[in-house]
Amino acid sequence: MRTQDILASAGPQAQHIEALWWLMLVICAVVFIAVLTGVALALIRSPRGDPATPPDLSSLARPERSAAIVVVAAVALSAALLIFLTIASFLTDRRLASLGPPALEVELTAHRWWWEVRYQDADPSRIFATANEMHIPVGKPVLVKLKADDVIHSFWVPNLAGKKDLIPGRDATLTLQADKPGNYRGQCAEFCGVQHAKMALLV
């Protein structure tokens, strides 16, 4: 069984999420290092008053125009980065919904503290149900219809897709696709009671 790992994507949805995660990590790391560097330079280059400097007099002889330019540039760059990340997040969300027509439909109902898996088919005699285990074809999108029977749950198979909340009385859908054969562990990601930690599912 593969470990739950969002950075070990095994399907197109997880790959889009992983790419966005790495993009945000790199940008945030660069910004963090730049901020620390700026703080260090400010501390090193800040002017020092001598013993003759009156206590109520600033050690800055005059305001620096270059400092104002740096601040304006930093604010503009921060705004540009935030806009860029917002657009990247929006495009990733659009890609998550761009999978083709499903080859299979599965109804997944969350109970405390187990998963009911019901395979749908146009022929009623071919509909059957099982628990805590879902089998899907490799390389083909599968439409999962999500329901909650009692309290709020959250369905999450990190190797295949993002989280999806299950709210009683409100149906939701999620498309899964596994491009690599294997066993992928899913988990309820919303605290739902004393046995929440054991509410797992194998895909």
Domain spanning 1-203: CATH 3.40.50.2300: no
Give the pLDDT of residue 33: 94
What are the extents of the domains in the chain? 1-203
DSSP 184: B
Nearest-angstrom CA–CA distance, 189 and 45: 49
Nearest-angstrom CA–CA distance, 138 and 86: 32
Q: Please, which pLDDT band fits residue 8 given cuts at 50, 70 and 90?
A: confident
Give the pLDDT of residue 99: 76
- Which residue would you say has higher pLDDT here, 53 or 146? 146
- For residue 145, count CB atoms less than 10 angstroms from its CB and return exposed for 0-12, middle for 13-18, buried for 19 or more: middle
Average pLDDT in the 4-22 region? 88
Question: Lowest-confidence range among 10-19, 97-106, 135-144, 145-154?
Answer: 97-106
First to last CA, the chain: 10
SS3 assignment, position 158: coil
pTM of the model: 0.78
Query: pLDDT tens across 70-85, in order?
Result: 788 888 998 999 999 9
